[in-house]
Structure 1
C-alpha cells in the first residue's frame, strides 16, 4: 500500500482524491489547504484528515508521496519540504510559473533523487500509444491540432482562470497539454509564432485573457504544426491530425480514438481513456512501490521543455513576432 498526501483541495485536488479512493494500492493519509472552507468540504467529502500546515501534515502522516495541486507559483517550497524528507512528488501541470522556478525545483529533485511525475495525463492514453506505433518510422510533414472548450462561457467557472497574471490564459494553463503531447510524439519545437484576440468574450477587469488564439510551430526536424485554441466554443474538441504522403491520422483525445490511413491501409483504434487520471496516479504509486522512475511517462525534467514551449507561445502571442526556443 502506497501512502499519499495531497496539497491543495481545489478542483484538481478533489478530482485526484475522488480517483484515488477507488485505487486499492493507494491510501490517502492527509490533505492540506490554507482555505478553511475548501479544506473542510474536502475533509467531510473524502473522510481524510485535514491540515492547514503543510510541513505538519508531512511530519504527522509520513506519506510515501505527495500530490501537489497548488497554483504553479507555489511549488519550490512544497517540493523541497517533501523531497528532503524522502517523500516522492507528483506535481500538477503547469510544472512551474516560469523557467527559473522550474530549474530550482528540478535541482531539488535531482539532489534528493525522489520519484517525480507531472500531470500530463494524455501520455497514458492507449490511443496515444497506438499513434506512436503508427507514426514510428513514417514521415510526418504537417500537423493540425485543436483544443476547443467553453470555459469562458460558463458563468460559474472560477474567475481566476480568466486572470492572465494568475492562470496564464488558455495557452499556458490548457494548451500546454497539446504542446507536451506533441513533443512526446514528434520531437522538440524550434520556433513559434501566433495571434490572439477576443471576438466572443471581450476583455474586462475580471477577464484579462484572450478567449481564442492560433499558433504555428516549427520543430527541429522540420515538421510544421498549426494549433487552434479557444475557451469560447460551446462544446469540447481535442484533436491532433498528422499528415504526409505516407499517412493521414486523426487522434481524438476526447473519444480516445485514432483513425485514418497509413500507407493506404485504413486504421481505426479505440481505447478506454476515461481513466487517464487513474492511470497516471497508478503509475506514480507503482513507481514508488518499485522504486522505478521509468514507470512514469512524464518526468519533471522533461516537463520543463513543455513549459518552455508554452511560455514562448504566450510571448509570441503577446508580441506578434516569431520566437526562437
Structure 2
C-alpha cells in the first residue's frame, strides 16, 4: 500500500518510524511546512516531498494517508482524501472545534472511506482487559478517577511553544486529557453510557499566564454519565514525575489502569480475584496503525477501535470542559 504522511512533527515521525518496519507498505509522499526538513525526510524513504497537501493528493497515487497535523488543520486534508476515496488515519484530537468535527464526520460518513482516529490508549492491553472485565460481567461502573500529571508546563520543559498557546493547542484538555477521558468512555462502555454533564476548574498556581503561556497548568474535570457513572479527572502540567492512570471503583472491585509508560499495567482486585497484568511488549502506536491498515486492506473497519464519529464525542467533552472552566459553570450536554 502507498502511504502519505501529512505533518512531520513528533507524532508524524513516530508513525513513519513504525510504518517503515512493515514490508507491506511504502511511504510514497511526505508533506510538511518546512521545505528543507520535508525534502530531507522524504529523501530518506524515496518518497515525494510536498509543502502543500493538495499537491500531494493531486500528484501521488495513495491507498491511505496519515493526517498528523496540528488540530486546526484536519478538515482540508480529510476532505481531499475523501474526494478520492483514500482512507484516513487522523491523529487526535479529531478537530479543533465541535462544529468542525461534525462537518468532518459527515464527510467521512458520506464518502464511505475507512477512517480511524489515533486514540492509542484504546489499544493498550490494560485498557482492553479492564474493558472486557467490565463488559463480560455486566458490572456497573459507579466511580472513575483518572489522573494525568507531567512537567509539560514547567519553564525548563522542552514543550513545543505552540502547545503553550491555548488558542492554538487547546491546552492540557486537548493535548492529553482527551486521551484519558476517551479511554474511560471506552472502558465503561454500555454500562456507563454517554456523558450528560461536565463541570471543570482550571488554575495557574505554579506558572501564571503570560504572553506566550496562555494555558492553565492545573485542571479538575467532573463528568456525569447517563447511567450513573461519575468521573473525576485531574490534570497537571506542573509535576516532575509523570503519572497517567485510570482507576475504576465498584462495590466488589477496584482496578487501576497504569498508562504512565509504554507497557501498560492493570492491577487490583475484581470480584474476589486478584488482578495483576503487565503488557511489556505492547506498542499502542504500532497496533492502532495495524488495525487501520488491515481495515484498508480488507474493507472491514470492525477492528478499528476509534471511529471518527465516536472520537468526535470525546472531542466535545474536552471542548465543553474548557468552556466550563472559562465560564465558571456546569454544562449539560
- Tell whether the structures are fold-level matches, with TM greater than 0.5: yes
SS at match of 2:283: helix
- Please say if 1:200 is aligned against 2:191: no
Q: Which residue of 1 aligns with 2:277?
A: 269
- Please say if 1:324 is aligned against 2:332: yes
Q: Which residue of 2 aligns with 1:184?
A: 186
Pairs within 5 Å for 1:12-31 = 12-31=11-30
Deviation of 1:274 after TM superposition, in Å, equals: 4.3
- Please say if 1:66 is aligned against 2:65: yes
Deviation of 1:288 after TM superposition, in Å, equals: 0.5
Distance in 2 between residues matched to 1:180 and 1:85, nearest whole Å: 30
Deviation of 1:46 after TM superposition, in Å, equals: 4.6
TM-score normalised by the chain length of structure 2 = 0.93
Aligned Cα RMSD in Å?
Answer: 1.5
Pairs within 5 Å for 1:138-149 = 138-149=139-150
- Please say if 1:225 is aligned against 2:231: yes
Q: Which runs of 5+ in 2 are unaligned?
A: none
- Aligned residue pairs: how many? 324
SS at match of 1:283: helix
Distance in 1 between residues matched to 2:133 and 2:51, nearest whole Å: 48
- Please say if 1:100 is aligned against 2:106: no
SS at match of 2:153: helix
Deviation of 1:116 after TM superposition, in Å, equals: 0.3
Deviation of 1:306 after TM superposition, in Å, equals: 0.5
Distance in 2 between residues matched to 1:37 and 1:246, nearest whole Å: 58
1:82-131 CA deviation, whole Å, 9 max, x = no partner? 11111111111110111111111111111111100001011111111110
Q: Which residue of 2 aligns with 1:159?
A: 161
Distance in 2 between residues matched to 1:273 and 1:119, nearest whole Å: 19
Deviation of 1:222 after TM superposition, in Å, equals: 0.7
SS at match of 1:227: strand
Distance in 2 between residues matched to 1:273 and 1:182, nearest whole Å: 23
1:44-80 CA deviation, whole Å, 9 max, x = no partner? 5555331123222223221100000111221222111
Q: Which runs of 5+ in 1 are unaligned?
A: none
1:165-194 CA deviation, whole Å, 9 max, x = no partner? 000000122101111111111231111112
Distance in 1 between residues matched to 2:282 and 2:81, nearest whole Å: 30
Deviation of 1:273 after TM superposition, in Å, equals: 5.9
TM-score normalised by the chain length of structure 1 = 0.96
- Alpha-carbon distance change, 27 to 155 in structure 1, aligned in 2, over 3 angstroms: same
Distance in 2 between residues matched to 1:148 and 1:201, nearest whole Å: 15
Q: Which residue of 2 aligns with 1:296?
A: 304
Q: Which residue of 2 aligns with 1:32?
A: 31
